[in-house]
Structure 1
Amino acid sequence: FLLIIFALLSFNYLIFLLNIVRGIRIVKNDNSENDNKDFVSVIIPFRNEEENLLKNLASIESQSVPKTQYEIIYVNDNSDDNSVNILENAKSWSNVKIINSDLNLEERGHKKIALTKAIEEAKGEIIITTDADCIHGRDWLKTMINKFDDETAFVSGPVEFIEDETTFSKLQRLEFSSLILVGAGLIGIDEPIICNAANLGFRKSVFNLVSGYEGNLNLSSGDDEFLMQKIAKKTEYKIKFCFDDKAKSFTQPNSTIGEFFNQRKRWASKSLYYVKKSTTLKLVMIFLFYLGIIAQLILGLFYNQLFLLSFFFSMILKVITEYQIVQIDSKELFTPANIKIFFLAEFVHIPYIIISGFSGLFGNYEWKGRKIKR
């Protein structure tokens, strides 16, 4: 009976990954591009980012989009370092604004409240958000906004970690790229679930139409995904993924394993609150597949060797299909990882998913110096 359960979980995971492959190919072949002349508001929330803001500002001020077509709004989420002074002294043109988020420090939706204030003050119909620790190529903004047409309300963009020579950073780049690709594939098959606030855009009018972040202000994470899911559920507008390397945002990986797991706990904490419960069910089934792999290995070693066969079957299925996604279908967007890094990631991935999943649902975590309790 258990072998049948494990086989069904493996089959479900295979179908999920094949749909991701199909979705990635759909967004890759979406050549829709417009010479968009709409005024754009680039919004960057920040909290204690004094080490990153100068590079971030320089990359956004130097975009190829005419300066008359966009403004930059930095919204201060109660920083207690020198971030605001650094920005004030560094901004070189009048369309850079710095505003402060008014909120009670005891509240949880800090970033959403900060973003909402900035969106209210934004002049642009198209809102592009990124993070204060990101840098961008010169054509980033133009590439993102040119994905918008009259029928499009939300565009998700690619984000990439800047790796160094350490194995840890290479593993993070591969893992993070795979999350971006899964998000792209899901958008391609009209099941938008995953995106990243470090690189996305939406229409201000549609943000207001769906009441913005209302309904999940009690959560510290999810400003990006909840908004995308609400737009998909409540409107007929299109949601797109910008599969173009010129649209990438670049950011630094976590420097320690503790920081890495803390970030992943924060991301996992929102999964039970997704707009569609069928989405949560999909994620639960994937989580059970990973638990099943560990269970098969243990049962095969200590109970019945048939479970070892099913373990190897599940692993082969996982490795081959994920190789197709992260090493072949995505090479126009992300440089394929070293094959040793890929295989190491395949085995590290399993305990990492289980640990971060459980800790995100039941554990506390820290974000930007704030301790968030479940």
Structure 2
Amino acid sequence: MKKEGVNQLFNTLENKISVIIPVRNEADNIARCLDSLSNQNYNKANFEVIIIDDHSTDNTSEIVINYFKNSELNSRFYQLENTYTKKEGLKCGIEKSNYNIISSTDADCILPSNWLFNISIQINKKADMILGPVIFKEKPGFLSAFQQLDMLAIQSIEFGMLSYKKPILNNAANLTYLKEKFYVVNGFDQYNTPSGDDVFLLEKFKKHNKNVLGSLKEDFIVLTNQETSFSSFINQRLRWSSKAKYYSNSWLLFISTIVLIQNISLIFIYIGILFVEKYWIILLILLFCKWLIDFILLFLAASFFKRKKVLYYFIPVQVVYPIYLLFVWITSIMITFEWKGRNYNG
């Protein structure tokens, strides 16, 4: 009887979920992502996997079709015909979905085995949107550490603000929302940008007073790929920055402005330490205080995400980061950038 009771409780938590994955040129990644979905601790009758191919030029579609043929997943595959971009792929997947709960992720992600189970728990708490944690897969080297520390900072802001019921950031690699609410807020009917399907949708949910929840649990962390070259990294950050001019969330605008001003100020502090002999000690103390606060916050985040090793790179990353941020901010306004073989204006 006890076992039956546990099973009954488990089944009451298992909502019907549609997992949507837009793909473009993901032949190197998609099979591992699908493996992680196949290994979910969740009844396969209670979720479906929908993949939408955005005009891939590699053999992504062939890999997906063959995988589905030999899989027990409840799965479907579609190809965009007259539309383009990730947002159009998501819209297509939502239209084709059978269930009201929409969970999105990316083709280069590895999902923990309790991913769907954790989503279902939050849905039972009457969530309209669920924000989940995302972290990069571990790799050696400075570029990797830079990206890891940057992501840890982003995750700290995301879940820190969420804890005060002021969500300002999310990540489409681990994002869930109700389809009926998606249509109530007019979904992705906003701005011709190559990214922003996550943040802009969050802004709409908040404007319509929808219930946005998050789950910061170890077995809910989604692993995603990081960029492997400096040029691809800069292109990624230019893409992320390109949507900033469309932000309407006052808290997001405020925090983004504070972060930018702080980092520009740090550049002047660097210059002052090097060239203004009269005040260099005061400036050095200010710099130390700023770095100490940053280190404490990053240490807490790195401890949770099990990424303490990247803290060895803390000082060199801190030195470079203000210069990098200013460069990306200016460059994103002035030039085009490339993503998935397509060029976009900043």
Q: TM-score, normalised by structure 2?
A: 0.90
CA-CA distance at 1:75 after TM superposition = 0.7
CA-CA distance at 1:241 after TM superposition = 2.1
**Pick from 266, 269, 285: which aligns with 1:296?**
269
Where do residues 228-247 of structure 1 align in structure 2 (5 Å cutoff)? 228-235=202-209, 237-247=210-220
- Does 2:311 correspond to 1:347? no
Q: Is the 8 A contact 1:272 1:280 kept in 2?
A: no
Structure 2 residue identity aligned to 1:96:
S
**Pick from 72, 76, 82: which aligns with 1:103?**
82
- Does 2:303 correspond to 1:325? no
Structure 1 residue identity aligned to 2:204:
K
CA-CA distance at 1:261 after TM superposition = 1.0
Structure 2 residue identity aligned to 1:191:
K
Where do residues 159-238 of structure 1 align in structure 2 (5 Å cutoff)? 159-216=134-191, 218-235=192-209, 237-238=210-211
Distance in 2 (CA, whole Å) between partners of 1:277 and 1:165 is 37
CA-CA distance at 1:94 after TM superposition = 5.6
Q: 1:195 to 1:282 in 2, by over 3 A?
A: same
Q: Which residue of 1 aligns with 2:37?
A: 60
Q: 1:305 to 1:293 in 2, by over 3 A?
A: farther
CA-CA distance at 1:89 after TM superposition = 0.6
For the residue of structure 1 that corresponds to 2:128, the secondary structure is: strand
Q: Is the 8 A contact 1:244 1:333 kept in 2?
A: no
**Pick from 52, 67, 86: which aligns with 2:63?**
86
CA-CA distance at 1:49 after TM superposition = 0.5
Distance in 1 (CA, whole Å) between partners of 2:142 and 2:302 is 21
| Count of equivalent residues | 335
Identity of aligned residues (%): 27
Q: 1:144 to 1:340 in 2, by over 3 A?
A: same
Q: Which residue of 2 aligns with 1:369?
A: 341
Where do residues 27-46 of structure 1 align in structure 2 (5 Å cutoff)? 36-46=13-23
Q: Deviations over 1:128-184 (max 9, x none)?
A: 110001112211221233222353111111111112232322332222122122111
Over the aligned positions, Cα root-mean-square deviation in angstroms equals 2.1
Q: Is the 8 A contact 1:34 1:149 kept in 2?
A: no
For the residue of structure 1 that corresponds to 2:122, the secondary structure is: coil
5+ unaligned residues in a row in structure 1: which ranges? 1-32
**Pick from 223, 246, 250: which aligns with 1:250?**
223
CA-CA distance at 1:292 after TM superposition = 1.2
Q: Is the 8 A contact 1:177 1:334 kept in 2?
A: no
Q: 1:77 to 1:297 in 2, by over 3 A?
A: same
Q: Is the 8 A contact 2:134 2:174 kept in 1?
A: yes
Distance in 2 (CA, whole Å) between partners of 1:90 and 1:65 is 19
Q: Is the 8 A contact 1:40 1:124 kept in 2?
A: yes
- Does 2:332 correspond to 1:360? yes
Q: Is the 8 A contact 1:35 1:146 kept in 2?
A: no
Q: Which residue of 1 aligns with 2:97?
A: 122
Q: Which residue of 2 aligns with 1:20?
A: none
Distance in 2 (CA, whole Å) between partners of 1:166 and 1:240 is 35
Q: More displaced, 50-59 or 359-368? A: 359-368
Q: 1:331 to 1:340 in 2, by over 3 A?
A: closer
Q: Is the 8 A contact 2:105 2:174 kept in 1?
A: yes
Q: Which residue of 2 aligns with 1:24?
A: none
Distance in 2 (CA, whole Å) between partners of 1:343 and 1:335 is 16
Q: Is the 8 A contact 2:38 2:73 kept in 1?
A: no
Q: Deviations over 1:324-372 (max 9, x none)?
A: 2221255233432344212222222221211122222332111111011
Q: Is the 8 A contact 1:76 1:101 kept in 2?
A: yes
- Does 2:107 correspond to 1:132? yes
Distance in 2 (CA, whole Å) between partners of 1:103 and 1:277 is 36
